A and B are shown apart, each in its own frame.
Chain A
Amino acid sequence: MSKQYETVIGLEVHVELATKTKIFCSCSTEFGGAPNTHTCPVCTGMPGSLPVLNKQVVEYAIAVGLATNCTITQNCKFDRKNYFYPDNPQNYQISQLYLPICRNGSVEIETEEGKKSIGIHEIHMEEDAGKLIHDDWDDCSLVDFNRSGVPLIEIVSEPDMRSAEEVIAYLEKLRMIIQYLGASDCKLNEGSMRADVNLSVRELGAEEFGTRTEMKNLNSFKAIARAIESERERQIDLLESGEEVIQETRRWDDTKEYSYAMRSKEDAQDYRYFPDPDLVPVVISDEWLEEVRKRQPELRDEKMARYAKEYEIPEYDISIITSSKHLADIFEETVAICNNPKKVSNWLMVETMRLLKEHDMEPEDIRFSPANLAKLIELAESKVINSSVAKEVFEKVFDEDINPEEYVEKHGLKAVNDEGALRATIEKIVEANPQSVEDYRNGKKKAIGFLVGQTMKEMKGKADPGMINQILTDILEG
Chain B
Amino acid sequence: MANIISDETIEYVGILAKLELSEEEKEQAKKDMGSMLDYIDKLNELDTSAVEPMSHVFPVHNIFREDVVVNGDDRENILKNAPEQKDGSFEVPKTVE
Spell out A's residues near B (CB within 8 Å).
Answer: 19-21, 25-28, 34-41, 44, 46, 52-56, 58, 77, 82, 84-86, 132-135, 138-145, 251, 262, 270, 272, 275, 277, 279-283
Q: Please tell me if the beta carbons of A36 and B95 are within 8 angstroms of each other in the complex.
A: no
Cβ < 8 Å to A, chain B residues 55-97: 55-58, 60-71, 73-75, 78-79, 81, 84, 86-97
Chain A residues with CB under 8 Å of B65's CB are: 21, 26, 52-55
Q: Please tell me if the beta carbons of B81 and A280 are within 8 angstroms of each other in the complex.
A: no
B16 in the interface (beta carbon within 8 A): yes
Write the chain B residue with the least CB distance to A56: B67
Bound Cα distance A28, B94 (Å):
28
Bound Cα distance A38, B78 (Å):
10
Write the chain B residue with the least CB distance to A29: B69
Chain B residues with CB under 8 Å of A279's CB are: 56, 63
Task: Kindly provide the distance from the CB of A33 to the nearest chain B CB, expressed in whole angstroms.
Answer: 8
Q: Please tell me if the beta carbons of B89 and A144 are within 8 angstroms of each other in the complex.
A: yes
Q: Please tell me if the beta carbons of A46 and B81 are within 8 angstroms of each other in the complex.
A: yes
Q: Which of B60, B69, B70, B78 contacts A280 (CB 8 A)?
A: B60
B18 in the interface (beta carbon within 8 A): yes
Bound Cα distance A84, B14 (Å):
13
Chain B residues with CB under 8 Å of A86's CB are: 90, 92, 95
Write the chain A residue with the least CB distance to B63: A280
Q: Please tell me if the beta carbons of B93 and A53 are within 8 angstroms of each other in the complex.
A: no
Chain B residues with CB under 8 Å of A281's CB are: 55-56, 61-62
Cβ < 8 Å to A, chain B residues 16-57: 16, 18, 55-57
Q: Please tell me if the beta carbons of A35 and B68 are within 8 angstroms of each other in the complex.
A: no
Bound Cα distance A21, B68 (Å):
6
Chain A residues with CB under 8 Å of B64's CB are: 52-55, 58
Q: Please tell me if the beta carbons of A140 and B86 are within 8 angstroms of each other in the complex.
A: yes
Q: Which of B61, B69, B81 contacts A28 (CB 8 A)?
A: B69
Spell out B's residues near A (CB within 8 Å).
Answer: 16, 18, 55-58, 60-71, 73-75, 78-79, 81, 84, 86-97
Chain A residues with CB under 8 Å of B94's CB are: 134-135, 139-141
Task: Kindly provide the distance from the CB of A283 to the nearest chain B CB, expressed in whole angstroms.
Answer: 5
Q: Please tell me if the beta carbons of B97 and A262 are within 8 angstroms of each other in the complex.
A: yes
Bound Cα distance A19, B74 (Å):
21
Q: Given contacts A55-B64, A272-B16, are A44 and B81 in contact (CB under 8 A)?
A: yes
Known: A53-B63, A53-B64, A283-B62. 9 other contacts (CB 8 A): A36-B79, A46-B81, A52-B63, A54-B65, A141-B93, A142-B90, A144-B89, A272-B16, A280-B60
Q: Given contacts A39-B74, A270-B16, A280-B61, are A21 and B95 in contact (CB under 8 A)?
A: no
Bound Cα distance A445, B90 (Å):
76
Write the chain A residue with the least CB distance to B74: A40
Bound Cα distance A64, B91 (Å):
38
Task: Kindly provide the distance from the CB of B82 to the nearest chain A CB, expressed in whole angstroms.
Answer: 9
Bound Cα distance A139, B93 (Å):
7
Chain B residues with CB under 8 Å of A144's CB are: 88-89
Q: Given contacts A36-B79, A272-B16, A283-B62, are A21 and B87 in contact (CB under 8 A)?
A: no
Bound Cα distance A52, B62 (Å):
10
Q: Which of A26, A85, A272 contacts B68 (CB 8 A)?
A: A26
Bound Cα distance A270, B78 (Å):
31
Q: Given contacts A21-B68, A251-B97, A272-B16, are A140 and B57 in contact (CB under 8 A)?
A: no
Q: Please tell me if the beta carbons of A39 and B75 are within 8 angstroms of each other in the complex.
A: yes
Q: Given contacts A270-B16, A275-B55, A280-B56, are A21 and B93 in contact (CB under 8 A)?
A: no
Q: Please tell me if the beta carbons of B69 and A20 are within 8 angstroms of each other in the complex.
A: yes
Bound Cα distance A376, B42 (Å):
80
Bound Cα distance A320, B68 (Å):
35
Bound Cα distance A46, B80 (Å):
12
Chain B residues with CB under 8 Å of A84's CB are: 18
Chain A residues with CB under 8 Å of B16's CB are: 82, 270, 272
Bound Cα distance A413, B81 (Å):
62
Q: Which of B58, B70, B88 contacts A26 (CB 8 A)?
A: B70
Bound Cα distance A19, B18 (Å):
35
Task: Kindly provide the distance from the CB of A85 to the nearest chain B CB, expressed in whole angstroms.
Answer: 7
A-B contact pairs, 23 of them (CB 8 A): A20-B69, A21-B67, A26-B68, A34-B88, A36-B90, A37-B75, A54-B66, A134-B96, A140-B86, A140-B92, A141-B94, A141-B95, A141-B96, A142-B92, A143-B89, A143-B90, A143-B91, A279-B56, A279-B63, A280-B56, A281-B62, A283-B61, A283-B62
